[in-house]
Chain A
Amino acid sequence: MNVKIKTTNLNLWYAQNHALHDINLGLYENKITALIGASGCGKSTFLRCLNRMNDLVSSAIIKGTVVIDDKNIYDKDIDVVTVRKRIGMVFQQPNPFPKSIYENVSYAPIKHGIVKKGKGCDELVEKSLIGAGIWEEVKDKLNAPGTSLSGGQQQRLCIARTIAVQPDVILMDEPTSALDPISTEKIEALMLELKKKYTIITVTHNMQQAARVADYTAFFHLGKLIEYDETETIFVNPKEKKTEDYITGRFG
């Protein structure tokens, strides 16, 4: 089993607030890894370090390395745009662009030079929408605005948009917490399909979701990594007491 992303001594401060303490984590390729923990424990912050989205927060100071395919993405000579092309992100609130469904998916690949307008672009859009499990529902209305879809469909559109730029890794920040149970199940089934081609890291508030879909689970508490193991171990025989307390609902 291959380690796709490795963080070493990753620390983060929001101004004076030390939000992440020495995170050492090796995330495996083509697996789903779930990050769980109570509110404010640093799991979303950690996730956003993996694609340098925290660079957009002016008060964030980051130390340590995040290595993917033998390159530290925080090196001075790395352009952040290339990092985000390889490591895509799906957000908690579905946020399609206020453009048509087709344009939502085609915009970024054209800008990155992956395809040009025309047949190649049409094929990429179709492939991405199929990959996100939404092609059948939208193939007749590609010019409708992205915002005309239901919540679950919008989130799948955002997933299609993310895989259209052909990343290696997909980060998901609580992708189903704003959706109803049926849409949630569709997205979870989609995640199980997607892991065959991509490495998926997901933050979730919903422990049962981590239990259902994740191969590996990492438990965070107050900015520290407490336990990281196969999901079955974490949920049947957790090694750390803090982990067990969180899972059984004794706190958090």
Chain B
Amino acid sequence: MLPVYKEKLESIKNEVYTIGSQVATANELALQAIETKNYKLFNDAKNELINLEKNSNKIDNMIVATLALHAPEAKDLRVLVSYLKITNEIVRASTNTKSFIKTFSKIVSCDIDLDKINEYGIPLHKSAILAIKTALKIIQIENENETEDYFHKVIVEESKTDDLYSMIEKNILKMITKNKELSKDYFDVLSSLRRLEKVADRAASIANLLLFAHLGGEIHQA
């Protein structure tokens, strides 16, 4: 393998990992904000995600150039094509995260029962973060046989978020029937938590694509 080609592959991998980590960090900061009720941290979380689209475009163009110049085959081809799709997933996860922060930061000043929501909301958030971080770990692993283990871990977290979301949905609907005038706020909370559940879905997609990259087979859009 020519050195220039090797360098390009390394740099693409690292860039993808970087933007993915930015999404994970943003979510961690948001979670911290909710747990410590220090809502200034929401701004820090948003700042993590500035320029993410721009960087994602940069990565996509690098991938196009590498495909044109080096005509990769087999694993290299699968890896580059997965990364091309993964940047998409990361951008969507970033959009979901930003949406969550925007909506949730608005409702914290309302009269809703935050503690009841956080009872299941914080675990949901934690699962989503774990899902993303585990999926990102797959990018950096040395031994690709561990890919399947990590993949299963991500799927587990993702289904947890599904269950937790259903619980929250039930609870919020109950709370709405109790306080009909706060229904709009409660609906906003629900839709923001739905965004977190979507972040976990994106993590599962990413894990699927990395499974294709490392172990082969066909692409399954999760």
Residues of A within 8 A of B (CB): 185, 188-189, 192, 208, 211-213, 231-232, 235-236
Q: For the complex, what is the distance from the CA of A235 to the CA of B65, rounded to whole Å?
A: 8
Q: For the complex, what is the distance from the CA of A185 to the CA of B3, rounded to whole Å?
A: 11
Residues of B within 8 A of A (CB): 2-5, 64-65, 68-71
Contact B70 A236, beta carbon cutoff 8 Å: no
Contact A235 B3, beta carbon cutoff 8 Å: no
Note all chain A residues with C-beta closer than 8 A to B4: 192, 212-213
Interface of A is mostly: helix
Q: Known contacts A192-B2, A211-B68, A212-B69; can you find 11 more A-B pairs with CB under 8 A?
A: A185-B2, A189-B2, A192-B3, A208-B71, A212-B2, A212-B5, A231-B69, A232-B68, A235-B68, A236-B65, A236-B68
Note all chain A residues with C-beta closer than 8 A to B3: 189, 192
Interface of B is mostly: helix
22 contacts between A and B (CB under 8 A): A185-B2, A188-B2, A189-B2, A189-B3, A192-B2, A192-B3, A192-B4, A208-B71, A211-B69, A211-B71, A212-B2, A212-B4, A212-B5, A212-B69, A212-B70, A213-B2, A213-B4, A232-B65, A235-B65, A235-B68, A235-B69, A236-B68
Note all chain B residues with C-beta closer than 8 A to A232: 65, 68-69
Closest to B64 in A: A236
Note all chain B residues with C-beta closer than 8 A to A213: 2, 4
Closest to B5 in A: A212
- Cross-interface CB contact of B70 among A185, A189, A192, A211, cutoff 8 Å: A211
Note all chain A residues with C-beta closer than 8 A to B2: 185, 188-189, 192, 212-213
Q: For the complex, what is the distance from the CA of A188 to the CA of B5, rounded to whole Å?
A: 12
Q: Which of A185, A208, A212 has the most CB of B within 10 A?
A: A212
Query: Which 3 A-B pairs rank lowest in CB-CB distance, beginning with the nearest?
Result: A235-B68, A211-B69, A236-B68
